[in-house]
Every structure is written in structure tokens, then in C-alpha cells.
Amino acid sequence: MRCVRCGNHEDKVIDSRSNKDGMSIRRRRQCLKCDHRFTTYEALEQRELYVIKRDKTREPLERAKLLQSLSKAAEKRPISRETLEESVDGIISELEEIGGAEVEASRIGLAVMRKLKAIDPVAYVRYASVYRSFQDVGEFLNEIQNMNDDPMHGTHHPELFKVKEPKPKPSAGAAKTLSSSST
Ligand SMILES: [Zn+2]
């Protein structure tokens, strides 16, 4: 496995355990060059799931791609790689349970959003904003509104609400009210 830190291809497995469902193996590895530790997951190969995209074309659902989109949304957030991996596994098995060999892209998007919502509100909104490409701004704002009702949210994540707006210039008269009343 290629080390994510230094790119070296040699590592040793320091821990190996089977997942609860017995469908995958989680391996803890250590790079032989820089000692960086990372985790890999080996999954049982299953029937391929196809994604039907908005333009009606089909392509195989790629776990790596899905993981990448989650990772992107989770950038600089306190979310571990393991959590992301597990989320992706959860999303895929959820999609497989729906049945059928094909799944609509919108369905995947919703599954991802549900997962992220439970993990991290910022990652969730990031994903939602990209996924929806602001096609439906009203719906997007509703999502944010809904999250305000979430006790997890609020003052802890002020970065969500940093909207770039030109600041109104301070009016010259505003500071003048402190002058009188000392005779
Ligand atoms: Zn390394």
C-alpha cells in the first residue's frame, strides 16, 4: 500500500481485524520508511452497483470516489479517516439493501447527506451545497435552518454563516450620543 504521507510502497501490518459483518477486514499498517500509521479496508467483492446519473448515463459505483467526496466535505473537520471509511461502508450497504443493480445518483447524494448530518454539521452543509450545486437555493437554506434547531449547532460552528457581504460604512452620527448629561 502506498503511504499517504511519503508515498513509500512498503509497510507492515500491525493489526488486522474482521468487521462485525464479516464482509471486510480492517488493517492497521505502518509505513516502513516514515512510520506513518494508516488503515486499509479490504472488502469482499460484491456484485457491482451502478449509478444512474442525472443525464441518464450509467457508471459503476466507485467506493474510492464516494470516499473522496466525503473526505472533501470533511476537510479540516475533526472527523477521522476511520469514521469516513465506516460511513462509506454504511452508505454502500444501505444502497445495496434498496435492492436492484442500479441506483440513482440523487439517492446516493441523500444517503451521504444523511450520514454527514449525523457526523458533522459543517461537512454536511459543504456536501449539500456542492451536491445541490445551489440549484434549489430555497431548499438549501431550509437545510441550514433545520440545522439551527440542532443543539449540536449554533455558536460552535460560526464559520457556516460567514457570508461575504459588503459592510455598511459606520454612520458619522452614531458616536455622538455620549456627550451631554454632566453639568
Ligand atoms: Zn511513509
* DSSP codes, 58-119: EEE--HHHHHHHHHHHTTTSS--HHHHHHHHHHHHHHHHHH-SSEEEHHHHHHHHHHHHHHH
* pLDDT digits 0-9 by tens, 50-90: 888 878 889 888 888 999 999 999 999 999 999 999 999 99
Which helix (DSSP H) or strand (DSSP E) does residue 161 occupy? Answer: none
Grid-cell match 439517492, residue found: 107
Question: From CA 87, how far away is CA 5, in angstroms rounded?
Answer: 23
Ligand 1 centroid to Cα of residue 113, in Å, is 33
Give the CA count within 13 Å in the CB-facing half-sphere of 128.
23
At residue 124, the pLDDT reads 92
Ligand 1 centroid to Cα of residue 145, in Å, is 43
Global pTM exceeds 0.85: no
Ligand 1 centroid to Cα of residue 8, in Å, is 5
Ligand 1 centroid to Cα of residue 96, in Å, is 35
Q: In this structure, which residues have their CB less than 5 angstroms from ion ligand 1?
A: 3, 5-6, 8, 31, 33-34, 36
Ligand 1 centroid to Cα of residue 39, in Å, is 13
* pLDDT digits 0-9 by tens, 16-43: 888 777 778 889 999 999 999 999 888 7
Cβ neighbourhood burial of 66 (10 Å; 0-12, 13-18, 19+):
buried
Which helix (DSSP H) or strand (DSSP E) does residue 121 occupy? Answer: helix 121-132
User: Which pLDDT band, with edges at 50, 70 and 90, does 180 fall under?
Assistant: very low
- Domains of the chain, by residue range, sit at 1-44, 46-153
